Amino acid sequence: MASGARIPLIAGNWKMHGSLAGSRELVAGIAAGVADMTAGVLLCPPYVYLSSVGEWIAGSNIALGAQDLAEQVGTGAYTGEVAGGMLTDVGCSYVIVGHSERRTIFGETDARVASKFKAAQAEGLTPILCVGETLEQREADQTQDVVAGQVQVVLDAAGIEAFAKAVIAYEPVWAIGTGLTATPAQAQEVHALIRGMIAALDGTIAAGLSVLYGGSVKGANAGELLAMEDIDGGLVGGASLSADEFLAICRAASS
C-alpha cells in the first residue's frame, strides 16, 4: 500500500455506461459514503456527463477526471475530439490515457498515447497512463518487456520530470472486465518493475509516483491488492458502477 508521500487513489472508470439520471443516483450514493475516507476518490464519467457530475460533487472530496482527450493542445478543427483545456474548464484534474480499450478497439498507438500524455500535462491535467499485457503476451512470458516498452515510449517522449505529475495504472488486459484478477504477487511484480524503471532515473519521483492496479478490482479483493508495497490504488471499471462496491474499495484503501 501507498506509504509515505503516496496517498492511495481509487479511480472509477465508468466507460460508456450510464445515463444522466443513473449517474446522478450513483454519484449521490458515492458522495454519501466518502466524506470520511482518507483515500483520494476520483470519478471518470463519459464526456457528456462531466459537467453534471462536476456540479454534483462540488464541495466534496471527490475529484473529476475524463477517460480520454485529444492529442492536440488548444482548440482547432478536430471534429469529435475533446481538448484537455475543455476538461479542465469543466473541473477535471485527471485524465485516463492509453486505456487498453483505446489501444485495441480504437487503434491508439504507443506514439499517440505518448502525445496524449503530453497534451494532458500541457493543459494542466494529471494523466493516468495505462499499461498492461494481453493474455497471449503473459503466456509467452513477455509481460515485463511489454509493460516496460509501454512506459519507455512515454519516458522518451515526455522525460522523467513528467512523471512527477503523473499516475501509472497497471492493467493486465486479460483481467479487465473478465472477473479474472492478477494475484497480489503477480501485480506487485509488475508494479515494482514500473517503479524500478522510474527509480533508475529519479529516486524521488519514483517514491512519489502512484501506481494503480486495474482489472476486476472489487470490494472482495481490494484489500489484498492494496496491501502490496507498490500498489497505490485502483482503477476500477465494473465495480465503480455500484456505489456499494465502489465504496467498499475506497474503504479498503482508507484503512
CB 205 within 8 A of CB 162: no
Q: Pattern of binders to ligand PGA over 168-207, x per CB under 6 A?
A: ---x----xx------------------------------
Gap between the Cα atoms of 18 and 24, Å rounded: 10
Count the Cβ atoms, other than its own, within 10 Å of residue 23: 21
Gap between the Cα atoms of 163 and 161, Å rounded: 5
Q: To 10 degrees, the CA torsion angle through 159, 171, 35, 243?
A: 150
* Smallest distance, ligand PGA to C-beta of residue 199, A: 25
CB 155 within 8 A of CB 197: yes
Q: Does 68 bind ligand PGA (CB under 6 A)?
A: no
| Residue in the shown chain whose Cβ atom is closest to ligand PGA | 237
CB 249 within 8 A of CB 219: yes
CB 41 within 8 A of CB 30: yes
Which of the following is catalytic: 99, 101, 133, 245?
99
Measured CA to CA in angstroms, residue 144 lies from 18, 69, 191 at distances of: 35, 27, 10
> Residue 168: beta bridge partners?
129, 211
Judge whether 99 counts as a catalytic residue.
yes
Gap between the Cα atoms of 42 and 75, Å rounded: 26
Q: Does 50 bind ligand PGA (CB under 6 A)?
A: no
Query: Applying CB under 6 A, what is the total number of residues that bind ligand PGA?
Result: 13
Enter the C-alpha cell of residue 70: 485529444
* Smallest distance, ligand PGA to C-beta of residue 100, A: 7
Enter the C-alpha cell of residue 248: 467498499
Of 114 and 173, which CB lies nearer to ligand PGA in the complex structure?
173
Q: Does 238 bind ligand PGA (CB under 6 A)?
A: yes
Q: Does 132 bind ligand PGA (CB under 6 A)?
A: no
Gap between the Cα atoms of 16 and 253, Å rounded: 25
Of 151 and 176, which CB lies nearer to ligand PGA in the complex structure?
176
Of 15 and 118, which CB lies nearer to ligand PGA in the complex structure?
15
Q: Pattern of binders to ligand PGA over 75-94, x per CB under 6 A?
A: --------------------
* Smallest distance, ligand PGA to C-beta of residue 173, A: 9
Q: Does 237 bind ligand PGA (CB under 6 A)?
A: yes
Which of the following is catalytic: 101, 123, 171, 245?
171
Judge whether 55 counts as a catalytic residue.
no
Residues 210-229 touching ligand PGA, rule: CB under 6 A, are: 214-217
Contact positions vs ligand PGA (CB under 6 A): 13, 171, 176-177, 214-217, 235-239
Q: Which residues are the active-site residues?
A: 99, 171
